Structure 1
Amino acid sequence: MAQRQGSFVKYLIIGFSAAGANAAETIRRLDPDGEIIVLNGESRSFYLRLDLEGIFQGKPVEQLMPRPPEYWPEKGINVRLDRAVGIDLKKRQVAAQSGGIYGYDRLLIATGARPRKLDVPGCDLAGVFHYHTLDDALAIYDSRARVRHAVIVGGGILGLELAHAVLTFGWKVTILVRGSHAGSPIVDLSGSELVLASLQRAGVGVLFHEQAAAFEGDSRHLCAVRATSGKTLDADLAAICVGVEPDVSFLQDTGLLTDGKLIVDGKMQTAAADVFAAGDAALVRRGEKLVGCNMWNVASAQARVAASNMCGMKAEWREDVLYNLDSLFDQEFALIGPWDDRRLSGRAIHEFRTENAYRALVMRDGVLESALLLGDRTHDRRIRKLITQKARVEEKLDRIFDPDTPPDYFI
């Protein structure tokens, strides 16, 4: 049990998504008697953000919650529906939106990410939504009876997920894509044809090199979306899905940010004593490289490391081979390894296409470093094993997807 001057430790956690919830549980396991307060800036208890699409299939809210709300007080974890607005590091206090002041001995910042805003006229009209939280999904779902045409601004993973979900309502759907292809930044232009073909088969309209210039309304409700090209689309609903950014703006005057970034070491500790961070809010320093977190399992692992160190242990976050399973519209994909590094110097991308699949393997000095399997992820476990073992496969690529060739052949 962690103690401070003979008294119980006060743990304060800001944020209640994957990182915050996992940290609270880890602290309680390691320190049965410490005081744990969690500031939850949302109106809901901890839920699975990855399963928001289930709302559009009629899934009850309770099924998105891995723990019932009463679980947390039963564990002695005090969850407050309040948002942090500032930190006084000298006084070891956090100021909240309600006006409350929360003291701490050990602090974890786990505020995650927030949706990027569009600074265009009409964003405050009824019928204009973001798609990021459970409340966002519920608000869009509750609009289903009155919507005929929805315009989704953004053709990344969230925009495509929402388009796929709302088609079940019989809506006409149009996606505005700022760049040259849908599915960015996960898939490059050369691999995006598979996603575009799926959208076209489903009857989804896609306008490339377009962004919303204004949301136009009558009697304060959305009537149309005006695109940057000047084209106007009649619309009953618009959803802004233009990416996310770390939710750290409340830290501006604390000295915790470096060029606007919240940087931690391998122990998930910030530059301030007894202040830790994990998940999407933080960047982990690895030599000269800053490693971000945009996966649920990574946020959870980082939170467990931070919580262990908050309890006086010596834990280190180890960057395992990243492994993410998701979908772009209706095309499942597996993303394995440091895929975001694929355009760095010294990398070579090898592409494999079939009618129903796109696969890209990234080599560095002949060694398999990362991969994207889109449309068919049958061999994801094999590829993950080869990346983990740093297999030199460049001269054997013709057999890498052959099910009759054992993985040891490439080692």
Structure 2
Amino acid sequence: MMDVYFIIFLGLSAVGAAKNYDGYQVFKIKPEAEGQMEKLRELLKDMRLDVWKEGAIGQETHVMVNPKLLVKFLHKMQKIDLQTDVMISDVGALERAESKAMKQGSESASFDYSTYHSLAEIEAWMTDFTANAPSGIDVTKIKIGESFQGRDLNLLKVERNPSVTKPNIIMIFGSHGREWISPATALTFLNYLVSEASALTTYSWHIVPVINPDSYYRTTDAAGEEKDRLWRKTVSSHSITVNNGTKTLTCSEGVDFDHNFGRMWVGYDEKAGPDCSSETFSGLEPWSETEVQAIRDYVISTNVAAFVDIHSYGEMVLLPYSYTMTKVPHFDELMELGTISASAIESIDGHTYAVGHIPDLLTMAHGLAIDWTCKDEHILFSLAYALRDKGEFGFLLPRDQIQIAGEEFIAGVMAMVNGLP
């Protein structure tokens, strides 16, 4: 089965010209004061640069720069007296190496958990995984909705003794297409669940390997000009009427999945209009994305003990809230769980995950899933992981780190879950 999908993947990739990242560079910048942070944000917005990671004051911000804008960018950075260090000297070169490794891994006769897979391969794996569950373990594939382009949004429910009611844990992977290590880790974790009996003793697991399949498809399977390895958002197009019906706004460049949840959503400046091209554009209205609606409805219909959202990159355990400097009332309890999780992760390969309040590690953000689940749905144990690495490769994490990243996540999550009251 894998060989069939491999042929399809190669055929699609050969058509047309994918977005070319040759010569693109990623820079590290570390503002040390509020004034520097404000100037940096203004510069990044004016130049419409792709921010890979926006850190808080004293933390690194990572930004990708088009070679055509490189001289202008460096000149402006010098004017605001901020140092830039090269993190990735040629994004295109890394992308080509990654693509070659992906194709080689797809030629394996059996499913290879140590490589990245196309959406078609992941969907085929989900079908096989469900059909071939070990004796005594129930794996059910549940369609929870459809993507903007009509793809099934599939959740895998894994449990033992389904007649016995257990607390439910919901985990979503692949919110952003370019974060390939997230779906890869989902498959590794699911394989662990059916291999380790003790993991199913206490909880029922509900896992969405790719919650934003249109976006992931665009980074893997898509052909021609549609293919873009670093696409982040959904691929939706929306229109809305404003000014008492006198004006119609249209955005066709997708929405950031992470910023579209409920009343945590923050709208656009009505005078300036929506910034549709922004990587963090939150949509013309809350709940506009079918993918966001699907996970919302599933969460509401399920008695959830914990909600976990898995991203890359940065090596962090992130705790709500993100939309305010105010921490959740039970922050100390979450901090203890996060610290236990980070300690377990470090024991695997020495990587240290930072644990803390999102605005202290990154920046304030609105519309995040974990804020909504925690505040509105009262799922107290809502948190997010940012997987490998800290910045050497960013979203282009090499294939040879997939397995160890998965082992770290398994250790960290199971330590956290075992610490739940």
What range describes the TM-score normalised by the shorter chain of this pair?
under 0.3
Q: TM-score, normalised by structure 2?
A: 0.24
Higher Cα radius of gyration: 1
Of Structure 1 and Structure 2, the greater strand share is in 1
Of Structure 1 and Structure 2, the greater helix share is in 2
Q: TM-score, normalised by structure 1?
A: 0.24
RCO higher in structure (CA 8 A, sep ≥6)? 2
